[in-house]
Structure 1
Amino acid sequence: MGIYSINESASAALKIAQAGILVTSQNVAGTSVEGYSRRSASTIMDALAPNSLMLNGSSFAVEGFTREYSSLIGAQLLNQQAKSSNSETLVQYVSTIDSVIADKSAGLSSAITEFFNTMGKYAADPTNKALATAITGSANVVAQRMTGITTLVSQLKSDSSTGLSDTVRQINTFLPALAAVNQQIVEANSPGNSAPSADLLDERDRILANLQKLIGGQSLINSDGTATQLVGGLPLVERGLANTIGINGDGKSLSVSFKQSNGNITATQTIQGVDGGQAGALLTLKNEFIPKLEQRLNTAAIGLVKVANETIVDTDSTSAPIRIFGFKVGSNTYSDFNDSRLTVSVPSFNVSTEVDVKNLYDSLGSAAQTETATVTFKALTAGQTVIIGGLTFTAGANGASAVQVANAFASLAVGDAAGTINTRKSLGTSAGGTFTSGTLAGWSTGGPSSEYVAFTSTSSNQNVTNLSASGTGVTPTISTWKEGYTGNSVFISNQLIAENFLSIAPTDPLMYYNGGNLLNPKISSANANTAQLKSSLFGNVVADLVTDVGVQVATWKNTQKANDTVLANLKDQRDQLSGVNLDEEAANLLKYQQLYSASTKILQTGNQMFNTLLAIMN
Structure 2
Amino acid sequence: MGSTDLIITGKYGVLNQQKLLNATSNNINNVNTVGFIRKETQTYTSCVDWGVGATYTRRIYDQYVQRQMYSDCSDYNYYKSYAEGLDTTDRLLSDSTMSVANAMSDFFDELSTAASLPTSTANRQAAMAKLDIVVNRFQTANESMFDSLNDVNSRVHDSITEINSLTRSIANINYEIRSMALSDNHVNNEIYLQMLDERDRLTGELSKLMSVKVVEQDDGTYEIYMSTGMLLANGDSYGCLTDKLNDFDSTKRQIYLSYENTEDASRNIANVQLTIDSIGGALGGYLNASKEIRNTMRELGKLAVSFADALNEQNKAGFTLEDKAGEALLKIQSVQGVSSSNSYGITCDFIEGKGENVEAYDFELIFAGGDYKVYKRGKDDTRVDITDELDTTIDKTAIPAEIKFKDDKYGVKFSINASINTLSATTRTVFYVKPTVLSASTLSTLINKPEDFAFASAVRTRTGDDNYGNAVISLTSCTATGTGYGVSVGTDGKPVFNTEAPNLIKIDKDGNYVIFYRDPDTGAETELGYAPASCKGVNVFANAVTDDGLGGTKKLYEEGYPGYEVSISGTVRQNDTFTVEINTEGQADNSNANALTSLRSEKLTKTTGSTQTTTLNEGYANLLALIGSASNSAKTNTEAAEAKYEQTVKMFESNSGVNLDEEATNLLMFQQSYQACAKIIEASQTVFNALIAAF
Supply the distance in 2 between the matched residues of 1:2 and 1:320 (Cα, whole angstroms): 124
Residue 553 (structure 1) shift = 0.9
Instruction: Verify the 8 A CA contact 1:16 1:61 in the aligned structure 2.
Output: no
Question: What is the match of residue 229 of structure 1?
Answer: 224
1:502 aligns with 2:497: no
Aligned counterparts of 1:387 and 1:132: Cα–Cα separation in 2: 53
CA contact 1:13–1:61 (8 Å) conserved in 2: no
Paired with 2:428 and 2:664, the residues of 1 have a C-alpha distance of: 69
1:179 aligns with 2:176: no
Q: Please identify, of 603-612 and 537-546, the stretch whose mean Cα deviation from structure 2 is larger.
A: 603-612
Q: What corresponds to 1:300 in structure 2?
A: 303
Partner of 2:9: 9
How far apart, in 2, do the equivalents of 1:214 and 1:246 lie? 14
Shift of the 36–139 alpha-carbon distance from structure 1 to 2, 3 Å rule, reads: same
The separation in 1 between residues aligned to 2:220 and 2:320, in whole angstroms, is: 83
Distance in 2 separating the partners of 1:2 and 1:252: 79
- Structure 2: any 5+ residue segments left out of the alignment? 247-251, 336-345, 376-398, 403-414, 456-492, 494-584, 604-613
The 3-state SS of whatever aligns with 2:232 is strand
Structure 2 matches for 1:16-31, cutoff 5 A? 16-31=16-31
How much does 1:551 deviate? 0.9
| 1:186-197 alignment, distance < 5 Å | 186-195=178-187, 197=192
Question: SS state of the match for residue 244, structure 1?
Answer: strand
SS at match of 2:182: coil
Could you tell me which amino acid in structure 1 is paired with residue 692 of structure 2?
Answer: L
Q: CA deviation at 1:299?
A: 1.3
| Alignment: residue pair count | 499
- Helix, strand or coil at the partner of 1:266: coil
Contact 2:139–2:441 (CA<8 Å) still a contact in 1?
A: yes
- 1:531 aligned residue (599, 610, 617): 599
Counterpart pick for 2:422 among 456, 460, 463: 463
Deviation at 1:51, TM superposition (A): 1.9
Find out whether 1:562 has 2:558 as its counterpart. Answer: no
Match of 1:253 in 2: 254
The TM-score with structure 1 as length reference comes to 0.72
CA distance in 1, matches of 2:203, 2:362: 35
Unaligned runs of 5+ in 1: 53-58, 331-341, 376-384, 392-405, 410-428, 433-459, 468-477
Q: Is the 8 A contact 1:127 1:519 kept in 2?
A: yes
Shift of 1:107: 2.0
Contact 1:132 1:512 in 2 (8 A): yes
Shift of 1:293: 0.2
TM-fit CA distance, 1:199: 1.1
Deviates more, 1:239-248 or 1:200-209: 239-248
Question: Of 271, 274, 278, which residue of structure 2 is paired with 1:274?
Answer: 278
User: 1:285 and 2:289 equivalent?
Assistant: yes
User: In the alignment, which residue of structure 2 is the partner of 1:615?
Assistant: 693
Deviation per residue, 1:83-108 (Å, 9 max, x gap):
11111111122222222222334422
Contact 1:388/1:480, CA 8 A, preserved across alignment:
no
Describe the SS at the equivalent of 2:41: strand
Structure of greater relative contact order (alpha carbons < 8 Å, 6+ residues apart) = 1
Amino acid at match of 1:132: R
Q: Distance in 2 between matches of 1:265 and 1:320?
A: 67
CA distance in 1, matches of 2:75, 2:16: 43
- CA RMSD in angstroms comes to 3.6
Secondary structure at 1:245 match in 2: strand
Residue aligned with 1:310, SS: helix
- The structure-2 alpha-carbon separation of the partners of 1:61 and 1:130, relative to structure 1 and needing over 3 Å to count, comes to farther
126 and 6 in structure 1: CA distance in 2 versus 1, 3 angstrom threshold: farther
Going from structure 1 to structure 2, the CA distance change for 1:108 and 1:465 (only over 3 Å counts) comes to: closer
Indicate whether 1:541 and 2:613 are aligned: no
Secondary structure of residue in 1 paired with 2:40: strand
* Cα offset, 1:317, TM superposition: 8.8
2:371 to 363, 367, 387: 387
How far the C-alpha of 1:50 sits from its partner, in A, is 4.8
* In 1, Cα distance between equivalents of 2:33 and 2:446: 61
CA distance in 2, matches of 1:132, 1:200: 76
Q: How does 1:97-136 map to 2 (within 5 A)?
A: 97-136=89-128
Query: Which letter does structure 1 place at the counterpart of 2:691?
Result: L
Deviation string, structure 1 residues 404-436 (Cα, Å, up to 9, x no partner): xx9789xxxxxxxxxxxxxxxxxxx9968xxxx
Note if contact 1:41-1:62 (Cα within 8 Å) is conserved in structure 2: no
1: CA distance between counterparts of 2:640 and 2:663? 33
Distance 1:586 1:528, change over 3 A: same
Deviates more, 1:23-32 or 1:153-162: 23-32
Distance 1:114 1:86 in 2: 40
Alignment of 1:329-478 (within 5 A): 343-351=347-355, 356=356, 359-361=357-359, 364-366=360-362, 386-387=370-371, 389=373, 461=420, 463-464=422-423, 478=427
Relative distance call for 1:117 and 1:64 in structure 2 (3 A) is: same
What is the letter of the counterpart of residue 150 of structure 1? N
Matched, 1:35 2:35: yes
Moved more, 206-215 or 76-85: 206-215
Aligned to 1:94: 86
Q: What is the letter of the counterpart of residue 326 of structure 1?
A: K
C-alpha deviation, 1:511, in angstroms: 5.0
Say if 2:300 and 2:440, in contact at 8 Å, map to a contact too: yes
1:325 is the counterpart of 2:340:
no
Take 2:634 and 2:128, find their aligned partners in 1: how far apart are those partners?
39
Give the distance between the partners of 2:659 and 2:362, measured in 1 at CA.
Answer: 54
Question: Matched residues in 1 for 2:201 and 2:240: separation?
Answer: 19
Cα distance in structure 1, aligned partners of 2:425 and 2:285: 45
Query: Within 2, Cα distance between the matches of 1:191 and 1:510?
Result: 91
Query: Following the alignment from structure 2 to structure 1, what is the Cα–Cα distance between the partners of residues 400 and 174?
Result: 55
Q: Distance in 2 between matches of 1:318 and 1:27?
A: 91
Change (3 A) 1:13 1:94: same
Query: Does residue 592 of structure 1 match 2:596?
Result: no
User: What amino acid is aligned across from residue 597 of structure 2 in structure 1?
Assistant: N
Q: Give the aligned partner of residue 202 of structure 2.
A: 207
2:593 maps to amino acid: S
Asked if 2 retains the 8 angstrom alpha-carbon contact of 1:325 and 1:505, the reply is yes
Cα separation, 2, equivalents of 1:29 and 1:269: 45
TM-score under structure 2 length normalisation: 0.65
8 Å contact kept, 1:139–1:324: no
| SS of equivalent to 2:170 | helix
**Cα offset for 1:463?**
2.5
Aligned residue for 1:239, secondary structure, equals coil
Deviation at 1:529, TM superposition (A): 3.3
- The separation in 1 between residues aligned to 2:260 and 2:430, in whole angstroms, is 29
Q: What do the CA deviations read for 1:189-242 (whole angstroms, capped 9, x no partner)?
A: 214434472211112112212222112232322232211122232222232212
Distance 2:268 2:589 in 1: 70
Q: 1:60 to 1:386 in 2, by over 3 A?
A: same
| Structure-2 change in CA distance of 1:604 and 1:297 (3 Å) | same
| Cα distance in 2 for residues equivalent to 1:553 and 1:107 | 18
- Kindly provide the CA deviation profile for residues 5-39 of structure 1, in whole angstroms up to 9, marking residues without a partner as x: 33233222322332122112221232222221100
For 2:54 and 2:330, locate their aligned partners in 1 and report how far apart those are by CA, in whole Å: 84
1:606 paired residue number: 684
- C-alpha distance in 2 between matches for 1:328 and 1:201: 60
1-side partners of 2:111 and 2:11: how far apart? Answer: 98
Residue type at the aligned position of 1:292? N
Please point out which of 177, 185, 193 is paired with 1:198.
Answer: 193
| Residue aligning to 2:658 | 580
- For 1:508-519, list aligned pairs within 5 A: 508-510=449-451, 512=453, 519=587
Alignment of structure 1 residues 43-58 onto 2, 5 Å: 43-44=43-44, 46=45, 48=46, 50-52=48-50
The Cα of 1:276 is off from its aligned counterpart by 0.6
